[in-house]
Amino acid sequence: MRAYMYVRPALAMCGRRALSNTSSASCSAVPSTLVHAALSVLNTPDPAAKAQLSQMHARQWLSGQITAIRPDDSETKLQPPDEPARGECPPIVSSGDMPRVKDLAKAQHMLFYMHSIAHVELSAINLSWDTVARYACLAPQLPREFFADFIRVADDESRHFLMLSSRLRELGSFYGAFPAHALIVQTLQNSCGHDWQALLRRLVLGQLSQEARGLDAGPRLANRLQGAGDNVSANIVAQIAHEEIEHVRIGLDWFLFCCAQLQIQDPMLEFQETAISLSNPGAFSPPFNHERRMLAGLQPEWYEPVAEALQQRLAALPPLRNHQLKQPQKP
Ligand SMILES: [Fe+2]
Ligand SMILES: [Fe+2]
């Protein structure tokens, strides 16, 4: 099997361009509202500049330079983009077109995993600011603490992305060297409304599915990196995995708040029905890190039935495509 090498000249140029833009967030203009701040991050294509701008706006919020959440009624047309701006790299492909680890050169295996996490972190920056901008219309019923929580999450994700992209460079690679998935687009599409129900779906698909998945996968990857002798990368991934616990807990708290707003009597059942109807099986595939999930407040009786239902749905699909692929066509 040919080993894939994704460090092509065009992509290497992307890496250099990302480096050259690292100072573009040094502009000190203060957005008039959180929605303006969120849109500036979402509309920034360069990954490093996006992360740095995200950190700057988080500091401006924390220091009291930004106090208003949303514009007055004359500017209510301000909306987050359907898809956050992104650079040319990495190429976005469907999950079926992602490279398989076994097809990569062995020296690239860990780089590929770290690149995947870096992409998740960049997607999480976009998702956090989209959440701030999209649901600002629910303020003041949605309190300031909600926005403070998601700005803190965005700030964490920005630091995570910059830590990983910096480490990738130290290892001779860069963010953009491998293809990446478009999972965020699906999440945005499934929660693109501006009401409590859309916010509830966002929290299920974002914090309680994708981020909770990170609680399972992060510690495993840290152990593998340590086993491969890369303690620096292992420590970075372990730190990120630890900090993601708080993100899931924040998601669960606000999910329960949404349920109360919508007068939903059984939040666990609501979570399960939403997750089963909108998730891919990969978002809930065992083995789960029950210990980490419980630290975030997620009990196994919430997510294990979701995993079972999604697996049963997958098993019930007609194996037509695989059958056709495996059977030689008769002349
Ligand atoms: Fe993160
Ligand atoms: Fe996170």
pLDDT in tens, 244-281: 999 999 999 999 999 999 999 999 999 999 999 998 88
- Considering the segment(s) 34-70+80-316 as one domain, its CATH architecture is Up-down Bundle (1.20)
What are the DSSP calls for 181-202, one per residue? --HHHHHHHTT-SSSHHHHHHH
**Ligand 2 ion: residues within 5 Å (CB):** 124, 211, 244, 247
Contacts by residues 7-15 (CB-CB < 8 Å, ≥ 24 positions apart) = 7/173, 7/177, 11/89, 11/90, 11/176, 11/177, 12/174, 12/177, 14/87, 14/88, 14/89, 14/90, 14/174, 14/176, 15/89, 15/169, 15/174, 15/175, 15/176, 15/177
Could you tell me the two tokens for 215? 């609680």
pLDDT of the residue at 207: 96
pLDDT band at 327 (very low <50, low <70, confident <90, very high): very low
pLDDT of the residue at 58: 98
Q: Is the pLDDT of residue 159 over 80?
A: yes
How remote is the CA of residue 7 from the centroid of ligand 1, in Å? 25
How remote is the CA of residue 169 from the centroid of ligand 1, in Å? 19
Contacts by residues 100-106 (CB-CB < 8 Å, ≥ 24 positions apart) = 102/1, 103/1, 103/2, 103/3, 103/4, 104/3, 104/4, 105/3, 105/4, 105/5
pLDDT single digits (tens) 29-70: 899 999 999 999 999 999 999 999 999 999 999 999 999 999
Mean pLDDT of 307-330: 64
pLDDT of the residue at 195: 95
For the chain, percent of residues with pLDDT exceeding 70 = 86
pLDDT single digits (tens) 64-93: 999 999 988 755 678 899 999 999 889 888
For the chain, percent of residues with pLDDT exceeding 90 = 70
pLDDT of the residue at 18: 42
pLDDT of the residue at 93: 87
pLDDT single digits (tens) 201-235: 999 999 999 999 999 999 999 999 999 999 999 99
Which secondary-structure segment (H or E) carries 161? Answer: helix 144-170
How remote is the CA of residue 148 from the centroid of ligand 2, in Å? 15
The total of other beta-carbon atoms located within 10 Å of residue 277's CB is 11
Helices (H) and strands (E) in the chain, counts: 13, 0
pLDDT band at 100 (very low <50, low <70, confident <90, very high): confident
pLDDT single digits (tens) 107-145: 889 999 999 999 999 999 999 999 999 999 999 999 999
How remote is the CA of residue 80 from the centroid of ligand 2, in Å? 20
pLDDT of the residue at 50: 98
How remote is the CA of residue 168 from the centroid of ligand 1, in Å? 16
Characterise 172 by phi-psi region: left (phi > 0), alpha (psi -120 to 50), beta (else). Answer: left
* CA end-to-end distance (rounded Å), the chain: 28
Q: Which residue has the tokens 């898809």?
A: 83
Q: Which ligand is nearest to the CA of 248?
A: 2
How remote is the CA of residue 287 from the centroid of ligand 1, in Å? 20
Q: Which residues, 6+ apart, have CB-to-CB distance to 218 below 8 Å?
A: 117, 237, 238, 240, 241, 244
User: Which of 313, 326, 248 is CA-nearest to residue 279?
Assistant: 313
